[in-house]
Amino acid sequence: MTEPRKTLLLIGATSDIGHATAQAYAKAGWNVQLTARNEEAARRNADDIATRSGVEVGVHRLDVLDLESFAALLDGLPTVPDTVVCVVGELGEQDRAQTDIQFAAKVLRTNFEGPALLLGMLAERFLLRGSGTIFGVSSVAGDRGRRSNYVYGAAKAGFSAFLSGLRSRLSVAGLRVITVKPGFVRTRMTAGMKLPPLLTASPEEVAGAILAADRAGRGRDVLYVRRLWRPIMLAISSVPEPLFKKLPL
């Protein structure tokens, strides 16, 4: 390798998708900077990545609810990353979110406010430098509010809308913003749920789709990891509201 190594910033490194994504980039020869709320768990993942691939891995503590800490985090990075992937998210039980306002607020902030604002700050640095790629892991749940998880879905809808606007703005400068919608993923977050195999990806599959989209340098703005999700969500989005509200989704 004669070119200097590129650097990935992975936000949410202790999630299964986050770890798999960092692993995939490291295997491709990238240096990796990880952030997570739980620094110890992130360190375990960092050691794993460094041992397997021999690249440099840094760990930074970050709570996406702590907006004040964002600037210091970005200033403390060894370099402005070439790509950032944000996988932060928390499903949050819908039942609890309906009655516990603090909890609902936390779900909204964790899935929308924190990730969106952090990526927004990074975008400014990417624009200054004139390069950088942003991946935001959103959710098919944000494509339409459903009775079974609309608090989470609304947060993801907000995040998707933010990414859409950011993409439009950054595209003028030739920078890419990709919204990733993994669909169902077999992770700790979904352990024990019965998931349809055709619509369920592994964390490694999500990671592979992100890395492939990054390498391609162009392509879809919105990445459904399992392609089948695109027509399904298109169909769900186009059901008229009078009918939709009768559906037990």
Partner 1 sequence: MRLEGWGRYPRHESEIVTLSAPDDLGRILRERSGIIARGNGRAYGDAAIGASATLLAGSLNRMRAFDPATGRLTVEAGVLLSEILESFVPRGFFPPVVPGTKLVSVGGMIAADVHGKNHHRDGGFGAHLQSLRLALPGGEVVDCSPQENGELFAATVGGMGLTGIILEATLVLRRIETSWIVQNTTVAPDLAGALAALDQTDDATYSVAWIDCLARGASLGRSLIFAGEHASREEVAAAGPARDLLPSAPAARLGVPIDLPGWTLNRASVAAFNELYFRRGAMAGRERQLVHWNPYFFPLDSVARWNRIYGARGFLQHQCVVPRANAQPVLAEILERFARSGKASFLAVLKKLGAGSGLLSFPMEGYTLALDVKVSDDIFPLLDEIDRLVVAAGGRLYLAKDARQSRETFEAGYPRLGEFRALRRASGAEHRIESHLSRRLGL
Q: How far is the CB of 220 from partner 1 (least distance, A)?
A: 28
User: 6: closest CA among 128, 131, 122, 127?
Assistant: 131
Contact 70, 78 (CB under 8 A): no
Residue closer to partner 1, measured from CB, 44 or 245: 44
Residue closer to partner 1, measured from CB, 72 or 212: 212
For residue 40, with 0-12 CB atoms within 10 Å meaning exposed, 13-18 middle and 19 or more buried, which class applies? exposed
DSSP 195: -
Question: In the range 185-214, which residues lie near partner 1 by CB under 8 A?
Answer: 188, 191
Task: Spell out, one character per residue from 171 to 190, where the chain touches partner 1: x when CB under 8 A holds, - when not.
Answer: -----------------x--
Q: How far is the CB of 15 from partner 1 (least distance, A)?
A: 12
DSSP structure string for 148-176 = TSHHHHHHHHHHHHHHHHHHHHHHTTT-E
152 is a catalytic site residue: yes
Task: Spell out, one character per residue from 1 to 40, where the chain touches partner 1: x when CB under 8 A holds, - when not.
Answer: ----------------------------------------
Distance CA 61, CA 82 (A): 20
Q: What is the largest CA-CA distance in the chain?
A: 60
Residue 8's beta-bridge partner residues?
32, 83
Q: How far is the CB of 54 from partner 1 (least distance, A)?
A: 7
Task: Spell out, one character per residue from 41 to 80, where the chain touches partner 1: x when CB under 8 A holds, - when not.
Answer: x--xx-xx--xxxx--------------------------
Distance CA 78, CA 54 (A): 18
Q: How far is the CB of 12 from partner 1 (least distance, A)?
A: 16
Residues that are catalytic: 152
Question: Which chain residues interact with partner 1 by CB under 8 A?
Answer: 41, 44-45, 47-48, 51-54, 188, 191
